[in-house]
Amino acid sequence: MDEKKAMTRAQAAGPARRTGVAKGLWKAIRKPLAQSRFSRHVLSTLLAKALSFIKITNPLVKGSSDLTAAYAEHTPSIVALWHGQHILVPAYYDRNQKLVAMFSRSADAELNAMVFEKLGFRAVRGSGGRPGSDNSGKGGAQALIALKKALDAGNNVAMIADIAKGTPRDAGLGIVTLAKLSGRPILPVAMATSRRKVLEKSWDKTTVSLPFGRGALIIGDPISVPSDATDAELEARRREVTDALNMATEKAYQLVDRPK
């Protein structure tokens, strides 16, 4: 019996051990990769091509939002996305419609920014801002200025609404501050595919879309922020963005997960 129990424990520990080894290996190579311009170029190119392939093999289902109508009605606007749920969205975006997006300054975000640029768009670096925090040292103010200029020039901009390593799916003040400064509406956008892998141990439950499934892209109602909005009004709009993005996300998953 003891021998059988030992074998059972060893078998159960196998997947966890392999996961630990893979995670340790990634940590060991991540820094050298981040420091190598050639490695970043090759990896970001491969990832961009993979996203395009996943997009092609995940046609949008009935009930998805009309992207062409959204471009025509709301450009320029601020596209709001959630961390971990945003990865595939740029692949569905029309490259003929200019898009500028903000990414944090972390090594992982830098790779995401390069992939975004490989898809034909422009990235700026900064931070969205936690409620009540000062992110001036992170380039947040400079990034917001760059995004405002992009909006003023007629470009749509994209921004991850929640804060890296903060509370997932809870919008920061950065995105509503940009709406206040620019006078442009926030569009909550969510993307989901029927075939996906959720990285359960990641802080934001990062979702990796897989090929050969169905896709859904949902655009929520625009949210405007008055140019004279008080701190209390900004907080109310922040909560509104949070609720609208969560509703769009839930609807996208419902569409792809329903029976054919």
229: nearest Cα among 162, 187, 171, 183: 183
Q: What are the residue boundaries of the structural domains of the chain, listed by start?
A: 51-257
What pLDDT does 149 receive? 95
What pLDDT does 131 receive? 46
What pLDDT does 229 receive? 98
What pLDDT does 20 receive? 60
197: nearest Cα among 176, 186, 211: 211
Q: What global pTM score does this model have?
A: 0.82
What pLDDT does 117 receive? 92
What pLDDT does 182 receive? 97
pLDDT in tens, the chain (260 residues): 555 555 555 454 555 555 565 555 555 555 555 567 778 888 899 999 999 999 999 999 999 999 889 999 999 999 999 999 999 999 999 888 889 998 877 767 788 889 999 999 999 887 655 544 444 445 678 889 999 999 999 999 999 999 888 899 999 999 999 999 999 999 999 999 999 999 999 999 999 999 999 999 999 999 999 999 999 999 999 999 999 999 999 999 999 999 87
What pLDDT does 39 receive? 81
Angle at alpha carbon of residue 151, lines to 173 and 158, rounded to 5°: 55
What pLDDT does 132 receive? 47
97: nearest Cα among 114, 73, 81, 80: 73
212 half-sphere exposure, CB direction, 13 A CA radius? 0
- How far, CA to CA in Å, does 168 sit from each of 42, 81, 83, 155? 30, 11, 7, 27
- What is d(CA 147, CA 126) in angstroms, rounded to the nearest whole number? 10
What pLDDT does 133 receive? 47
